[in-house]
Amino acid sequence: MIDFTTHPDRYRHWTLKLDGPVAELILDVDEDGGLALGYALKLNSYDLGVDIELYDAVQRLRFEHPEVGAVLLTSAKDRVFCAGANIAMLGLSSHVEKVNFCKFTNETRLGIEDASEHSGQRYIAVIGGTAAGGGYELALAADYIILVDDGSSAVSLPEVPMLAVLPGTGGLTRVVDKRRVRRDRADFFCTVTEGVRGQRALDWKLVDELAPRSAMRTTAMARAREFAATGRPEPGAGIVLTPLAREIGDGEIRYATLRVTLDRANGVANFTIRGPKIAPPADAAGIHAAGAAFWPLDLVRALDDAILHLRSNEARIGTWVFRTQGDSALVAAYDDLLTAEGSNWLVREITLYLKRTLKRLDVSSRSLLAMIEPGSCFTGTLLELALAADRSYMLDGVLEGSNLPEATIRPTAMNFGPLPMGNGLTRMETRLLDDAAALAAARDAIGGDLEAVDAEALGFVTFTPDDIDWEDEVRIAIEERASFSPDSLTGMEASLRFPGPETMETKIFGRLTAWQNWIFQRPNAVGEEGALKLFGTGKQASFDRNRV
């Protein structure tokens, strides 16, 4: 089982150092510390385990160290920054493992960019040697790149000439969309194995600054302190991200705020989210005092972990069904508190974490269904789960023999701004694309409890069966999903979930889902005579020259 929880005390590949407003994340990969047998992580190459530690470090910097305004990404290895994803690991990995690895890697890099843009923790990559492939893609996630000007240190994206794949984990997109490298120069850069160094790298916007080796450390610290002076530093202490309370059994995963039961026979994971049981604190001070136990933070940590666990460890569970239980008024009260205290740094971080986790749900290659029943609390932040679903079903009326009141949903301000998708729009804006009147009507419903008929009319839900049809419609929807090809569903869902504007983020995941997903199965890359299989053997790959 792949476990996505860790702690700095258990890191094998990264070291986190703190110096007032400047933090340093030092990459020193343990060659023998791979997640699986059969490969050595040489030259600071990485596998999923290295990225799990990086993700944890980025999260802890945001929540535990509000004093930090700049983060240096450096290497402890002599004359190598990072050689990228370990090729032997990729050659040994299944297709599912490769794609999940690439997806998580890019989500982590997007998290770095999110910290820079929204949290005032700006990242600087310091390259004192080779930054190849995924190593340069890691640097591309930073705001600023410093390259040692010594005639040998270089940046490169050599996947096309060396591996018959492509820098699809954000590399291609960030080079042209983020760094604005001319595409003719980018074409050359992505097809030359040795990469680009020195003045050309600077002139082509592949890096931001050159420094002699003797001044590398001084230059990096000076730049970090400049960034920190205009960045995040917040008064007071952070909160501790205490170990997540979690129990994993054969057929279920339990958290304080979430239970996931697995129906492996039908390929279904049933998520049941438990709403808060107590009223929220009065203000931001109370949120700080509650720390990791504050309900929205406790929930999002559990949801994040469950998504990652299922993606990597339960590939045959293809349908995720979301239900909620609890008091809608309490959920709304927590949303109101997040909205009212939005200027507080911790509240901002919790909201951003909710945003990132819902985005992780959006790009998960699973069918998403929401079931809104009596006793549920699809309100505000939890309503986002129904809006993220490929379809949602809301019971019209009550179930025979039940004393629970009729199901309702309640939109809040959280549905109209703070939790955008990767396309830059809210899920409600995406659903009601370019329909200003419908969106205004939905917004006017903020704070009201909507029964099934009104919820359907306003566009919040897909279907509203009554109690006679409820069980059959829910059963058919789930069984139907299980009968379709998982490949066709992945392509359909990824295409339908992101209408509207194209962004760097949607481009990255579109390419990850389609192009790289396809290329990683082609014989030119993974066949017996493919480049990934023969890498390091001295043998030349044999390519099928047909363009398709």
- Check residues 114 and 534 and name the one with the higher pLDDT: 114
Query: Is position 113 within any domain?
Result: yes
Q: How many domains does the chain have?
A: 2
Query: Is position 545 within any domain?
Result: no
pLDDT of residue 166: 85
Task: Judge if 97 and 133 occupy the same domain.
Answer: yes
Query: Is position 243 within any domain?
Result: no
pLDDT of residue 515: 67
How many other CB atoms are there within 10 angstroms of residue 31's CB atom? 14
Q: Write the DSSP symbol of residue 433.
A: T
Task: Judge if 282 and 207 occupy the same domain.
Answer: no
Task: Judge if 463 and 413 occupy the same domain.
Answer: yes
Beta strands at 70-75 and 22-27: parallel, antiparallel or unpaired? parallel
Q: Which residues of 152-175 are buried (b: 16+ CB within 10 A; e: fewer)?
A: ebbbbbbbbebbbbbbbbbbbbbb
Q: Which of residues 449, 477, 494 is at a domain's end?
A: 494
Query: Is position 511 within any domain?
Result: no
Mean pLDDT over all residues of the chain? 94
- Check residues 408 and 543 and name the one with the higher pLDDT: 408
pLDDT of residue 232: 73
Read off the pLDDT band of 403 (50, 70, 90): confident
List pLDDT tens digits, range 166-208.
887 889 999 999 999 999 999 999 999 999 999 999 999 999 9
Rg, C-alpha atoms of the chain = 24
List pLDDT tens digits, range 44-91.
999 999 999 999 999 999 999 999 999 999 999 999 999 999 999 988
Task: Judge if 169 and 270 occupy the same domain.
Answer: no
Query: Is position 222 within any domain?
Result: yes
pLDDT of residue 402: 85
pLDDT of residue 211: 98
Read off the pLDDT band of 373 (50, 70, 90): very high
Distance CA 288, CA 292 (A): 9
Query: Is position 173 within any domain?
Result: yes
Q: Which of residues 229, 256, 271 is at a domain's end?
A: 229
Cα–Cα distances in angstroms (integers) from residue 363 to residues 230, 245, 315, 512, in the given order: 33, 26, 15, 10
Phi (first) and psi of residue 282, to 5 degrees: -75, -30
pLDDT of residue 547: 77
Task: Judge if 186 and 253 occupy the same domain.
Answer: no
Task: Examine the pLDDT at 218 and tell me if it is beyond 90.
Answer: yes
List pLDDT tens digits, range 149-159.
999 999 999 99
Task: Judge if 283 and 191 occupy the same domain.
Answer: no
Question: Which CATH number does the domain housing residue 197 bear?
Answer: 3.90.226.10
Q: Which of residues 201, 229, 257 is at a domain's end?
A: 229
List pLDDT tens digits, range 475-522.
999 999 999 999 889 889 988 999 999 999 998 888 776 666 778 788
Task: Judge if 260 and 355 occupy the same domain.
Answer: yes
Read off the pLDDT band of 269 (50, 70, 90): very high
User: Would you say 54 and 260 are in contact if contact means Cβ atoms under 8 Å apart?
Assistant: no
Task: Judge if 363 and 444 occupy the same domain.
Answer: yes
What is the percent of the chain where pLDDT is above 70? 99
- Find the range with the poorest average confidence among 101-115, 162-176, 408-422, 467-481: 162-176
Q: Which domain holds residue 190?
A: 8-229
pLDDT of residue 167: 87
With 0-12 CB in 10 A as exposed, 13-18 as middle and 19+ as buried, what is 512? buried
Query: Is position 533 within any domain?
Result: no
Task: Examine the pLDDT at 426 and tell me if it is beyond 90.
Answer: yes
Task: Examine the pLDDT at 416 and tell me if it is beyond 90.
Answer: yes
Task: Judge if 185 and 261 occupy the same domain.
Answer: no
Query: Is position 541 within any domain?
Result: no
Task: Judge if 192 and 341 occupy the same domain.
Answer: no
Task: Judge if 271 and 142 occupy the same domain.
Answer: no
pLDDT of residue 235: 72
Task: Judge if 280 and 211 occupy the same domain.
Answer: no
User: Would you say 15 and 63 are in contact if contact means Cβ atoms under 8 Å apart?
Assistant: no
